[in-house]
Amino acid sequence: MQTEAMVLERHGGPEVLEQRTIELPPPGPHEVRLRVRAVAMNHMDLWVRRGGPAFKLEYPHRLGCDIAGVVEELGARARGVLPGDRVMVQPGLSCGICRACLSGHDNLCRRYRILGENAQGGYTRHLNVPDENVIRIGEALSFEEAAALPLCTLTAWQMVFRKARVLAGQTVVVHAAGSGVSSIVIQLCKMQGAKVIATTGSPDKAERARAIGADEVILTSEQDYVAEVKRLTGKAGADAIFDHVGGELFERALTAVAWGGRIVTCGATAAFSAKLDLRQVFFRQVEILGSTMGSKGDLLEALPLILDGRIKAKVDRVVPLWQAREAHEALENRTVFGKVVLGVD
């Protein structure tokens, strides 16, 4: 069948995105065809569009990791959903047969890919996805809310529970409170009974961070980050720091974390390189933990909290898919708090 999509044929700025009619084959035996209704943006969209050695694209390429829509057609042996079901999509793809996959750690699979990254994504009206990646959401969520949750929730869940092991009474620092991942991390840490210190460079975003649960906010454009963390923790430092900014802020986090504390990183939106004093790591016994996505089981574990509203998506704006260029510019200019969602008419 033919369907409309936003695609890119080369790397570059937002101008490389263009609307085009594409061919979509019938769903495979264990695939489901969706009518996409919303696709949320991530920094992944920007990185893939700009290009880099890690991205092996098949052109025309479609971005879009986070997808919600309606099941239209099932492959011959597809399971778990029925035509007409409202669903969101797990964005991670893996082989399903290696030790990592079979032990419930599919995001450690050596063949792991993410929709919209090294696999075709959701910037389209119709999409085929594996049946194991589709989750029914019923009527509890709008398509926009559902699209805003999968990648951020997977990422935050692994960071908070598997990596940082946050407990009641601890103090955590969450960098860049305006991001989708950070908004979920804040909510999960508050559920655990932790004190949350958020950071942002914008006074407007500081108030929004408090509104979603941050106990304290450090305005990094005006305040000394390390001094404020020390002041707010009685000089002890934070038990855990969540970072996806990288660069200088990551370097400073090493000074702000407590003895025996944990720094969990899932990205580097500002800079990929950081200089570290290793004495601060081994002498103070600081753990630096990398984190990418989470397992399929993690999202299913989080699902009841999503459906009953304890985990909420922070949607900044909804933009038509066909205006994706403008949406990319807004995300690049850091003028959003939460998620930019592309609506698909």
Total domains in the chain come to 2
Q: Is residue 300 part of a domain?
A: no
Are residues 269 and 223 part of one domain?
yes
Full residue range of the structural domain in which residue 256 is found: 153-290
Are residues 266 and 181 part of one domain?
yes
Report the C-alpha gap between 49 and 9 in whole angstroms. 10
Are residues 258 and 165 part of one domain?
yes
Are residues 98 and 165 part of one domain?
no
Are residues 171 and 284 part of one domain?
yes
With contact defined as beta carbons under 8 Å apart, do 135 and 307 qualify? no
With contact defined as beta carbons under 8 Å apart, do 157 and 294 qualify? yes
Report the C-alpha gap between 30 and 44 in whole angstroms. 27
Beta bridge partners of 240: 172, 262
Q: Is residue 226 part of a domain?
A: yes
59 by Cβ neighbours in 10 Å (0-12 / 13-18 / 19+) ranks as exposed
CA dihedral of 54, 59, 45, 141, whole degrees rounded to 10: -130
CATH number of the domain enclosing 182: 3.90.180.10
Shortest CA distance to 150 belongs to which of 93, 98, 95, 99?
93
Q: How many angstroms from the chain centroid is the CA of residue 80?
A: 25
Q: Is residue 304 part of a domain?
A: no
Are residues 194 and 325 part of one domain?
no
Phi, psi of 77 (to 5 degrees): -120, 25
Are residues 198 and 239 part of one domain?
yes
Are residues 74 and 52 part of one domain?
yes
Q: Is residue 301 part of a domain?
A: no
Are residues 199 and 111 part of one domain?
no
Q: Which of 275, 290, 305 is the last residue of a domain?
A: 290
Are residues 236 and 254 part of one domain?
yes
Are residues 56 and 168 part of one domain?
no
**What DSSP string runs through 187-210?**
HHHHHTT-EEEEEES-HHHHHHHH
Integer Rg of the chain from CA: 20
In this predicted structure, what is the pLDDT of residue 269? 83
Q: Which of 290, 305, 330 is the last residue of a domain?
A: 290
Q: What is the 3-state secondary structure (H, E, C) of 38-68?
A: EEECCHHHHHHHHCCCCCCCCCCECCCCEEE
Are residues 142 and 212 part of one domain?
no
Query: pTM to 2 decimals?
Result: 0.93
Q: Three-state DSSP class for 263?
A: strand
In this predicted structure, what is the pLDDT of residue 284? 95
In this predicted structure, what is the pLDDT of residue 119? 95
User: Would you write out the chain's pLDDT as a tens digit for each of its 345 residues?
Assistant: 999 999 999 999 999 999 999 999 999 999 999 999 999 999 999 999 999 888 889 999 999 999 999 999 999 999 999 999 999 999 999 999 999 999 999 999 999 999 999 999 999 999 999 999 999 999 989 999 999 999 999 999 999 999 999 999 999 999 999 888 999 999 999 999 999 999 998 888 899 999 999 999 999 999 999 999 999 999 999 999 999 999 999 999 999 999 999 999 998 888 888 899 999 999 999 999 999 999 999 999 999 999 999 999 889 999 999 999 999 999 998 888 889 999 999
Q: Is residue 139 part of a domain?
A: yes
